[in-house]
Structure 1
């Protein structure tokens, strides 16, 4: 860990924990389709380069629009697990981090599943006393697209009923 001038080890660990909480919130908001919450995790001038830059956007509004267009339907269910963070404080107001991502996205209309893993590379900026994501993006280590199994019993928090018309109520 880099020791910033005047900062105690405890205060630096508190900053790192705040950044971890920020990224955890980003993933939770992504999977619960909380677009206002996602917005709060990003700096206004944030940039993204998802899937090795295949999906690149400039500005918080453009990033949120892309994410809500891609994952916003109640017929798209996702799980993003970010773990093993490596966070480096660069200054009092800047940091960078690498996260391991495991994701699972179910597209109910097409009955396709995308599973994979990637490494997120982020930059963070402390704005008005709160950490925000300044840039984010990932590079895949692998991705599998396959047909989903039966969905008769699938239920989600988004519509309160089985997505395929059967199952428990």
Structure 2
């Protein structure tokens, strides 16, 4: 392998500390979404972040626009979500940049509109070290591999027994 090939391999290599930072960044981002902690979500995003979901149907530019979308779409206490990512494929693309692909599964319960949504997708993220020295998400989005919606009325016996916004998240089963 020549010098150029070695430089490309070195650039693509991701040390364990950086890998850990990027994994925790993604986990904080999703925890913030699921707990509706919009300040936490905002802190994971670059000021000029681009967010694009649903195959490009939803497109937002800038931290304020992305947070505005989240609060409008998922800010109600009657909108419950669980996002889980696995199988990170992380790659350094430059001294201060990296990319990531994540397998996501999610479940959303909308008590106002009475539906359960379940789905899967692959998130494609870009990361950058901001001037404060912290990794942040500079671009994020996904395209669904599948999604299905079930009206809660079609799920006999379905009932919500715990919510993070009622009874401090305690289950009514105990």
Band the TM-score falls in, shorter-chain normalisation: 0.7 to 0.9
Q: Distance in 1 between matches of 2:173 and 2:158?
A: 12
Q: Distance in 2 between matches of 1:154 and 1:15?
A: 39
Tell me which residue corresponds to 1:16: 19
- Which stretches in structure 2 are left out of the alignment for 5+ residues? 1-7
When residues 152 and 103 of structure 1 are mapped into structure 2, their CA distance, relative to the original with a 3 A threshold, is closer
- Which stretches in structure 1 are left out of the alignment for 5+ residues? none
Tell me which residue corresponds to 1:31: 34
Equivalent pair of 1:126/1:132 in contact (CA under 8 Å): yes
Tell me which residue corresponds to 1:156: 163
Report whether the alignment pairs 1:140 with 2:147: no
After superposition, the C-alpha distances for 1:43-100 in whole angstroms (9 at most, x for unaligned) are: 0000011111111100000001101111111101000001100000111200001000
Q: Distance in 2 between matches of 1:12 and 1:161?
A: 39
- TM-score normalised to structure 1 length: 0.88
> In the TM superposition, what is the alpha-carbon distance from 1:109 to its structure 2 partner?
1.5
Equivalent pair of 1:83/1:100 in contact (CA under 8 Å): yes
> In the TM superposition, what is the alpha-carbon distance from 1:161 to its structure 2 partner?
7.9
When residues 2 and 81 of structure 1 are mapped into structure 2, their CA distance, relative to the original with a 3 A threshold, is farther
Higher helix share: 2
Equivalent pair of 1:2/1:88 in contact (CA under 8 Å): no
Q: Distance in 1 between matches of 2:27 and 2:107?
A: 16
- Kindly tell me the number of residue pairs found equivalent between the two proteins: 161
> In the TM superposition, what is the alpha-carbon distance from 1:12 to its structure 2 partner?
1.6
RMSD: 2.1
- TM-score normalised to structure 2 length: 0.85
Q: Distance in 2 between matches of 1:75 and 1:161?
A: 15
Q: Which moved more, 1:107-116 or 1:136-145?
A: 107-116
Q: Distance in 1 between matches of 2:107 and 2:173?
A: 23
Report whether the alignment pairs 1:40 with 2:47: no
